[in-house]
Structure 1
C-alpha cells in the first residue's frame, strides 16, 4: 500500500476556520483528519501541502518513521510545524486502523477505560450571577465539569474580537498595572457558580497566560476556597520556571501544555515539575504520535493528562481514542456548546456523541467519523476569522 495523494479543504467553523485533510492510497483506503490554527489557517494549509508532497509514494503504515522524518527534516520546529504534522499523523492513524477494520484505540494498545470523561465551557459573562446561570445550564445538560476564561479579562469573545468589551483590554501584558479589585471580582464569579451547582461539580479556569507570577499567586489564593479542579496557564507558556513557582505556591492544581510543539516542548515543564496536569493538544503538538509520547513521560512523573481540545469531531475523536488508552488520563476538554455542535453534524457523519459528560468508547473502524466533503466545500474559508483581535 502506497500513499497516492493528500487533499485538504478549509471550512468556516463558527468562530474559526477548520482544515480537513484526506490521505489517499492506491488500494482505496483513505484516512481523514482535522486541525485548526486561528489566525494562521493559510500558513498551516501551505505547510500541509508541502508535507503531503513528502508523503506521496510512501508506505502509510510507517507512522513513527513519518513523524520523525517530517519533524527532523524541517530543521526549524515550533507549533505551526507540529500542527501540519498533526494533520497527517492523525490521518495516518485513521487510515491504518480502517485498513485493518479496527478502531484507532486498538492500535494504541487497547482500552484502559470504557468511557472518556469530558468537560464543556461556560462564558465568563458580565456578572457573577449570569455566569452562575450558564454553569448551571451546562450541569443541567448532564455535564459534571465546566471551564471558563478569566472573568474581567474575557466576557463574550470570538476569534475576531470581544463582542462585549472586557474590563482589561486583550492586549494588556502580564507586566502591566491591573485594577486592585480584580482578584476579589474573580472570586465572586466562582463563589456564585459554586453556590449554584454545589460542591461536586468540577470548576476550572483558563487564564491564557495573562498573569505574572505574583498576580497568578494572588489569583490562586483568592480562588482556593472554591476548590477548582485546576487553574490553566496562569502565566505565559514560554517560561517553565515561572509556572513552577506558581505551582509550588498554589493549593489548586496548575495545568498547562496546549501550546507545546512536540514531546520536546514538554520536557522542561515535566523535568521542573512545573505543573500538576499536562494539557497537550493532539492537533497542536504533532498528532497522536506526539501526544502519546508526552502522556507516557508525564505518567513517569506522576502527572495527569487533561487534553486541550476546543475543536471539532475528528480532532475530538482522535483525542478521545488516545485518552481511552492512557492510565494517567484525567479529563478532556470539549467544545460541545449548541453553537458548535451544528458544525459537527454538518461536516461529519457519525460524529462522537457525549452523554452525561462521557464519551462511550466505540469500536467503529478508524477514528469513527467520516467527512461530509460536499458540505465542507459549501462553507469555505472566511478571511475575517484569521485577523485576530484577542489574546
Structure 2
C-alpha cells in the first residue's frame, strides 16, 4: 500500500484556524491527521508540501521508518514546525493502518487499558467571586478535576504579573475552601511568570490548595524549573510546547514535572507520544494530554489515552465557543459523555472528515493577542 498523495489544509474552523493533513494511498484508503503550532498553520502546511515530494510512492505501513526519515532527513532536524508537520502525517498513517486492518488505532498501540477517558474541565472565569461560582457549578455538574487559567481569550493588552498572582492566590484559596478537599484543582499560568514570581505565587497559598501548577514559566531552561521545584511542593504540569522526546527527557529524567502535557499534534504524532508516555512511566509520571485543537486532535488523543497505563486526565475545550463548524467538517466526532470520553471502537481514529467541507473552507489570518507589562515591555501571551 503506497502513499499516492499528501495534502495539507490550513483552514478556519469557525472560532480558530486549524491545519489538517490527508494522506492518500493507492489502495483507496485515506487517513487524516492534524498539526499543532497554532497561529502558524500556513508555515506547517508548507512543510507538509515539502515532505510530500519524497513521501509519494513510499509504503504507508512503514510508519516508524517514515517517522525517522521525516525527522532525520535534513541537517536541521527537529524543531516545532517540522514536528508539527510530522505529527499530522504520523497520525494520518496510523489512521490508514487502523482502517486497512479494520481495527481502532488503540488496538495497534497495544490495546485498551481503559474503556473511558477521564477529563478535566477549565474555568475561564476571572480571578474573583466569579471563579468561585463557576468552580462550584462545574463541581455540581460532576467534574472532579477543575483547572483555572489566566490565559483568557479576550483582547486585554496589559498583564501585571504581581497583581495577577496575588489575585489568583486569593481566589484559588477561597475556591479550595468552597470545593472541599476531594476535587482536584490546578491552574494554568500560560508561562507568563518568572521563577521568583511563580515561587511567590505558590507561597501565598496554604499547603494543599493546588494539586498541579501548569506552565508557570517558559520551558526552554530545565534548570529554571528545577530551581522553582525546590521552592514549592505543588506538582508541576509541563510539556504542551515540547516537540520531541528529547525536549521531554530532562523534565522526566530529572523528575521536574509530575504531569507530562503531551500534545500529539506538536510532539511528533502518536508514534512519539507513545515513546514519551513510556519514558514517563519509568519515573511514575502520569500523562495529562494537551488537546486544544479540533476534534481530529481529540480523536487521536483518545487513542493515545486508551493505550497507555499512566493517564491522569485528558483536556477538553474550555471556552464554550460556537463549534457548529465542527459538525460540518467532522460529521462523526468524539463527544463527551458527562465528564469523560468513551473509547471508540471504529476502525482508525474513529472520526469522519467531510473533505468537500474542508476544501471549501477558507483560512482567516489571526495573531495571538500581544501582552505588555505595565511599564510597556512585551511579555508572553
Give structure 1 stretches of 5+ with no counterpart: 169-177
1:80 corresponds in structure 2 to 81
1:38/1:276 Cα in 2 relative to 1: closer, same or farther (>3 Å)?
same
Q: Is the 8 A contact 1:282 1:288 kept in 2?
A: yes
Give the 3-state SS of the residue equivalent to 1:354 in structure 2. Answer: coil
Count of aligned positions:
371
Matches within 5 A, 1:320-359: 320-335=302-317, 337-339=319-321, 341-359=323-341
Distance of 2:136 and 2:27 partners within structure 1: 50
1:389 aligns with 2:370: yes
1:246/1:363 Cα in 2 relative to 1: closer, same or farther (>3 Å)?
same
Distance of 1:128 and 1:260 partners within structure 2: 32
Matches within 5 A, 1:82-97: 82-97=83-98
1:119 corresponds in structure 2 to 120
Give structure 2 stretches of 5+ with no counterpart: 372-380
The Cα shift of 1:277 comes to: 1.3
1:23/1:183 Cα in 2 relative to 1: closer, same or farther (>3 Å)?
closer
1:175 corresponds in structure 2 to none
The Cα shift of 1:219 comes to: 1.3
Q: Deviations over 1:158-209 (max 9, x none)?
A: xxxx4345542xxxxxxxxx54x54432122213433444332222211122
1:209 aligns with 2:191: yes
Give the 3-state SS of the residue equivalent to 1:324 in structure 2. Answer: helix
1:51 aligns with 2:72: no
1:98 aligns with 2:80: no
Distance of 2:112 and 2:15 partners within structure 1: 34
Give the 3-state SS of the residue equivalent to 1:163 in structure 2. Answer: coil
The Cα shift of 1:9 comes to: 1.9
1:11/1:197 Cα in 2 relative to 1: closer, same or farther (>3 Å)?
farther
Q: Deviations over 1:356-390 (max 9, x none)?
A: 2111112111000111223333431101x146535
Distance of 2:322 and 2:223 partners within structure 1: 36
1:6 corresponds in structure 2 to 6
The Cα shift of 1:306 comes to: 0.6
Q: Is the 8 A contact 1:120 1:337 kept in 2?
A: no
The Cα shift of 1:108 comes to: 0.2
1:163 aligns with 2:155: yes
The Cα shift of 1:24 comes to: 0.6
Matches within 5 A, 1:122-201: 122-125=123-126, 127-150=127-150, 154=151, 156-157=152-153, 162-168=154-160, 178-179=161-162, 181-201=163-183
Q: Deviations over 1:82-103 (max 9, x none)?
A: 0010010000000100000000
Q: TM-score, normalised by structure 2?
A: 0.91
The Cα shift of 1:141 comes to: 4.0
Distance of 1:336 and 1:52 partners within structure 2: 35
Deviates more, 1:308-317 or 1:89-98: 308-317
Distance of 2:364 and 2:140 partners within structure 1: 34
1:221 corresponds in structure 2 to 203
1:363 aligns with 2:345: yes
Q: TM-score, normalised by structure 1?
A: 0.89
The Cα shift of 1:286 comes to: 0.5
2:289 corresponds in structure 1 to 307
Distance of 2:174 and 2:96 partners within structure 1: 47
Q: Is the 8 A contact 1:116 1:324 kept in 2?
A: yes
1:376/1:247 Cα in 2 relative to 1: closer, same or farther (>3 Å)?
same
The Cα shift of 1:142 comes to: 3.7
The Cα shift of 1:297 comes to: 0.7
Distance of 1:134 and 1:54 partners within structure 2: 51
Deviates more, 1:95-104 or 1:312-321: 312-321
1:199/1:297 Cα in 2 relative to 1: closer, same or farther (>3 Å)?
same
2:376 corresponds in structure 1 to none
Give the 3-state SS of the residue equivalent to 2:136 in structure 1. Answer: helix
User: What is the RMSD of the two structures over their aligned residues, measured on CA atoms?
Assistant: 2.0
Q: Deviations over 1:243-277 (max 9, x none)?
A: 12222332211110111111111112222221111
Deviates more, 1:255-264 or 1:134-143: 134-143
